[in-house]
Each structure stands twice: as C-alpha cells, then as structure tokens.
Amino acid sequence: MTLRAIPNISEGRDAAKIAYIAGDSNQLLDIHSDPDHNRSVLTYDGIDALSGMIERAVATLDIRTHERVHPRFGVVDVLPFVGNEAQTAADDTTWAIAQTVGVPVYRYGKERTLPELRRWLRTSTYDQHPTAGVICVGVRDPLVAFNVNLDATLDEAKRIAKQIRDGDIRALAFELPSRGLTQVSMNLVNPNVVGADEALARIAALTEKIVGSEIVGLLPD
C-alpha cells in the first residue's frame, strides 16, 4: 500500500449528495454511509481526487444544520492519510485546502492524536469556516473501524465502551434512533494485536445483547 486517503464527510443520509461529493474517480475504492451518524467514510487510492471532493463538500454541505449522533467539527470532518507517502500527502493537501476552499486545517498525528485534537476543539476558541467548519488532517497507521450494535440502553453501551477502552481500542457509545438500538463504535488502532474478533469477544463477555456488527470502510491487508 503506497497511499490511502480516507475522508469522513458529514452526510450519511442523502445518497445522491454522497455520490456527487465522492465523485466518479477510479481512485474511489469504497463508500460507507450511516444515517444515524449522518456520516460517510470514503476511501481513495491516492490524492488526485481529493481537491474536487473537498470543493464539492464545502459547496454542498452546511455544518450549521447538520444533525447527527457522531461528534464532528466540519463538513469534511477528518482526513487521515495512511501509507508510505502519508506525510507528504498531508502536507500537500493542507496547502491545497488553503489555496482553494480556505477552510481552516488542524493537524493530528503521533504528537497529537485525533482524540486529543477533538478534546482541544471542544474546549477552545478556534478559526473555522462559516459553513464548512474545519478539516482535521492527519497521518496514522492502518486501523480497523468496527461497530457492534446492541439491544441495550445508552447507559449500558457507555459502560461497555468504557470497560473495553484501552491502548488498542478507542471506543464510544451512540444511540441509533432509526434502528432502536445502541452502538459501541470502535477504532482498533493496533489491529494485529486486537482485531475485530477479539474486540467482539470482549464485548460478548460483558453483555448478551449483541444484535450485529460491521466493518466501516476497508480493512488493512
């Protein structure tokens, strides 16, 4: 894998809008959308299609009217790069965003993780675009985004997320109103150590209320 770009956009309900923003580039590998999160995860093989995608997202979406269960700070909320050329791609894309759409970019990586950046954004005054918010551009290692759905209360889901959260698992709990369920949403940041099977087993040891699970986006090789 030379390079993957995996932007998360703040639209997960309108299929036509999502397809328009994602574009028809042959670099587009996958789209994963969720109506309750109101969010789509796009996966690109390279960066050539990103400028157009960002321009379309900024022109089409408005963060001020966005409703969701997933925390977000922009219409192109996060833009991680993975692979051998990730750092160069993040630098080049940050410069391109400033030259084209003018949305403020905040960076994350090994020195400041995405959860740390989100905590800073929640508690700080920062520059933002009036309708597009900010874009969090980062460099990270491959991970697995894995969700487990529960027929349980939100308090139960939060308790489980807290119990399994550690250095290998980042976990949050959400309601899924359209499905009448709750969800433990995870990033498995060391998937060779703790993969989806182990994460599922840890949750199953804490509850019998699992009703389904899903991989979000693509898996590392």
**How many whole angstroms from its chain centre is CA 207?**
26
pLDDT tens for residues 179-221? Answer: 999 999 999 999 999 999 999 999 999 999 999 999 999 998 7
Q: What is the mean pLDDT of residues 52-56?
A: 98
- What CATH code is carried by the domain that includes residue 56? 3.30.990.10
CB 158 within 8 A of CB 145: no
Question: What does the alpha-carbon distance between residue 145 and residue 140 come to, in Å, rounded to a whole number?
Answer: 13
Average pLDDT, whole number, for the chain? 96
Tell me the chain's radius of gyration from C-alpha atoms.
Answer: 17
Residue 221 domain-assigned (yes or no):
no
CB 58 within 8 A of CB 129: yes
Pair 118, 194 in one domain? no
CB 135 within 8 A of CB 80: no
3-state secondary structure at position 71: coil
Q: Is the pLDDT of residue 71 over 90?
A: no
- pTM for the predicted model, two decimal places: 0.92
pLDDT tens for residues 22-35? Answer: 999 999 999 999 99
Residue 220 domain-assigned (yes or no):
no
Range of the domain at 164: 144-215
Q: First vs last Cα of the chain: how many Å apart?
A: 9
- pLDDT the model gives residue 1: 57
Pair 151, 83 in one domain? no
